[in-house]
Structure 1
């Protein structure tokens, strides 16, 4: 795994704090009373609430205009994705506040990968204690991560931490329509998506709902692949939900890329290495591909997801995926 996320102790305590809360996020809904009580302990902070994309944009604009040192997002991956995308459109990275993402959603892949552990209200309490007594806090650090930049002619540029198409995207689409309505969150939610996706492997040939994706993939060195694949993914995260690490490239580059052919060999025997980061034993000749890179080009006419949000590509225009410069996250 490539080292793209240097950490260091934060040198100064942020003074101007902005809080963006999505009260409809999975964990926030379940723990709203405790979260709001913890928010009251962060004195002097500016609190904005929003529940949809236009609201996230408006709230981000309001908070950024306050010249923040720290922007705290209490929500899930979808909200963080919307805020990141908007920040890239309005400010150069050098003018951003430090970000802090508290896992308040149904899925919280980004904050968990950054090292943010615990219930949302407990993390907010630790933040309040750090702001009030910084000399007594030994666990605060900054973590740096690049962000995926996904461009396609005629479409708005998308920014996020995790891109996927094929069975992964179809599993997420299913979760948004069915499982999410039940109110299940966290690891159980992720396990159900994975289970559904594995079931989908059995029906890929007979069920359009779980059809593999037909596309061409071009690496930055010009090497090109074209065919039908079970899935393809690109991530700026070292680890996905449930500690899944479905890539095994060794190149010193920030984007982790993996795809699996529809006509793969020994799939059931290879599932554990594929998910556990031990895929170096898997062979491209058998249909398993993984590498680290700085950019990737995909051409397809199909759906894909970025941080759990569903998009659709236009087949005659390529998707260009690159890595942005690293941005700073505060972790407690």
Structure 2
């Protein structure tokens, strides 16, 4: 196990402390972490906690809380972000949670992209340090709700920003087996996976291998849908990969939902509606969009939260809630 080093920072009245949590095992960090270390060494008001074991995040957060950091930066992929958010909410290491910023240190970095944290991790870190130093950080803060995932598996609620089922889970597994093992750039690989799954589901005459088992989904208090689904999607992000926004705008809940039922022609019509800006207009039968506070799913299939895959427990329901929110930095 990697010992978690913490660089001691020197505080001053004019320099707020910045804390950086770096997952050394994240894909991008394997190449670019040395540049992040060099930048941290050049800035005495920055703490740096490195880890390889995800369980060490709790120790890092406790140190950041004791130091009183004014900005907490998560350097890793979506799975690292999810684990950190879950620890922040469940363990409550901070009396007041500081604003959170993201460095794109992983493979997918969908959350970092949504917050416009693009580029090499050290370049993004340099921008964040400059915002703190010049007193402009507050201008870039945005409040984002989290998805609380309860699996009834004895684990605390997990918190993230992107939930999926059916084709989304199968797409992640397909990408891991066919894209991530090769030399194709990650972003291009995800685009290839999305196009493949959409075309396969939309235009094949055969039943989609990406569809779910029989599933019942309850949205809030007044909507229920039952059957097989090609897509089950819930997110609090403002956009997804390839800048897509395949979710609903109707309602006032924080969870943006899209359900595409597995019926002949529905996926094709949903794709056309997405491309023509009519995705959430209610014109496609079998396509359901909404914004709700909570979701309950009864079904046997695995689901994903920010790229991590989880399996239902003995037929117990999967529950999603959007009642937690934190401040993030949007560059």
For the aligned pair, the TM-score class normalised by the smaller chain equals 0.7 to 0.9
Cα distance change on mapping 1:33 and 1:94 into 2, 3 Å: closer
Q: Which structure is higher in RCO with an 8 Å CA cutoff and minimum separation 6?
A: 1
Cα distance change on mapping 1:138 and 1:58 into 2, 3 Å: closer
3-state DSSP of counterpart to 1:88: helix
Q: Write the mapping of 1:1-332 to structure 2, written as runs, cut at 5 A.
A: 15-91=16-92, 95-134=96-135, 137=136, 140-156=139-155, 157-182=157-182, 184-198=184-198, 200-201=200-201, 210-265=210-265, 267-274=267-274, 278-283=278-283, 286-314=285-313, 316-332=315-331
Unaligned runs of 5+ in 2: 1-12
CA distance in 2, matches of 1:99, 1:26: 21
**Residue number in structure 2 paired with 1:3:** none
Contact 1:263/1:287 (CA < 8 Å) preserved in 2? yes
3-state DSSP of counterpart to 1:279: coil
CA distance in 2, matches of 1:277, 1:55: 44
Q: TM-score, normalised by structure 2?
A: 0.85
How many residue pairs are counted as aligned between the two chains?
317
Of 122-131 and 193-202, deviating more is 193-202
Q: TM-score, normalised by structure 1?
A: 0.85
3-state DSSP of counterpart to 2:61: helix
3-state DSSP of counterpart to 2:28: helix
CA distance in 2, matches of 1:277, 1:91: 41
Residue 87 of structure 1: CA displacement?
Answer: 1.1
Unaligned runs of 5+ in 1: 1-11
CA distance in 1, matches of 2:288, 2:94: 32
CA distance in 2, matches of 1:98, 1:37: 23
Residue 238 of structure 1: CA displacement?
Answer: 1.4
